[in-house]
Amino acid sequence: MSDTTSLSPRQNWTVVIFGFLALSLAFSSRAALGLIMPVWQTEFGWTSSYISSVGAAALIIMAIVAPFAGRLVDRRGSQFTLNLGMGLLGIGCAIVALMDSKLMFVIGFAGFSAVGFGIVATHVVATAVTRSFSHNQGLATGIGTSGATGGQFLIVPLIAALLAFASWRWSFGALSLASLALIPCIRMSMRADPPTGAATTQDEAPTSMAQDFVVIVRQPAFHLLFWSFLICGFTTTGVIETHLLPFASFCGFPPVPSATAYGLLSLVNLVGMIVAGWLTDRVNRPMLLATIYGLRALTFVLLGSLPGTSIEMLFLFAVLFGAVDYSTVPVTASLVASHVGIKMMGLAMGLISAGHAIGGAMGALAGGYIFTATANYDLVWNGSIWLAVGAGVLVLFLKAQPDSKIAAT
């Protein structure tokens, strides 16, 4: 499907393991913002609007950083890129742990940490894993990137425990120490893979980021994957991660069971990503991705019928949606590698991930605006149904196998 670096099996799975751990720490650090928000409101007198705005700024920084992080993988390799991201994340969490002003919070979370979030991201880990495997790429990518959701079940409870028995400063301090401690582990255990974007012969000059960008955007496969992944962001990060719990409250469900259902959704995400990765190696990938989007559309039909039902229906939705939530990641990464090219996979995945973030922002804003205007979420869920169907139709235009010229790169 694509060329890969020559690594031993043990080193290959080391990339998966440390990619999983890095994503677990990065996404848990992001999740800590909502967990600790009430404490900061009491201790510092900050409003939820201010804290949320800093979190939104961090998302914008992540979207901007994503393509450059992908380019960094192309040029400097995955070991250097992951270590840089973990270092920035460690510094950012340390600043937040020591902060005593709004400025320190902005610098720590929306500055250093946000750049770290943008570097230690699923597209970086997916690129690193894909280049390290010649077989079972999809399965390995699914396991490695599942740290983005499943790894939080290992770390977020620890953050909550430190918050309960010590203080929020210890929570961010522990995240900082864990992030910095992972750097020497990655350096000693992960082989420094050679950058694939470098010139391969003396006569072949290295290309600039602008040149690679032009090559990427001229490929129809990139646009099919970019716009489908933007819709993916709208229907997951945008409307579900932002509005599912408020919708559960709107339906009259108690907060604790609703939060438990949301946690179950994240747990099923892990299984869904691994299964999707396993299937990526064995079935028609465009058809698989279209099926995932189609099934996601059906889950929105169930979600729209929740008002007036029991809490068990919310749990059913959590299981079904969790299975098709992050499962698009390993399939999309595999298609980028084969249809856009392994040489520029990092930059291409970074651009596609930025599209996902833009779609997420659009979904979050649209959901809030529609609920304010109509006092219900019907239009949000109905619109999401057709958007998911549209994403499925888009990816069906992809060929099962790339052109021989792209595959050769």
Residue 3: pLDDT band with limits 50, 70, 90: very low
- How many residues in the chain? 409
* pLDDT for 119 beyond 60: yes
**In the prediction, which pLDDT does 201 show?**
44
Is residue 5 predicted with pLDDT exceeding 50? no
Q: From the CB of residue 335, how many other CB atoms can be counted at a distance below 10 Å? A: 26
pLDDT of residue 196: 55
Arithmetic mean of pLDDT, 243-266: 84
pLDDT of residue 136: 81
Check residue 192 and give its pLDDT. Answer: 62
pLDDT band of residue 390 (cuts 50, 70, 90) is very high
Interval 153-201: pLDDT, tens: 778 778 878 887 888 899 899 999 999 999 998 888 776 665 555 444 4
The pLDDT value recorded for residue 315 is: 94
* Rounded average pLDDT over 350-372: 87
Calculate mean pLDDT across residues 267-294: 93
Q: What is the pTM of this model?
A: 0.82
> Tokens 């949301």 — which residue?
262
pLDDT reading at 48 higher than 80? no
Closest CA to 22 of 218, 132, 178: 178
Check if the beta carbon of residue 274 is closer than 8 Å to that of residue 146.
yes
Q: Helix count (H) and strand count (E) of the chain? A: 19, 0
Amino acid at 358: I
Of 25-39, 54-68, 183-197, the poorest mean pLDDT is in 183-197
Confidence of residue 76 (pLDDT cuts 50, 70, 90): confident
- CA nearest neighbour of 222 among 290, 4, 230: 230
pLDDT exceeds cutoff 60 at 300: yes
DSSP tag of 3: -
Mean pLDDT of the chain: 86
The pLDDT of 137-142, averaged and rounded, is: 88
Cα-Cα-Cα-Cα torsion 280, 283, 288, 291, nearest 10 degrees, comes to -140
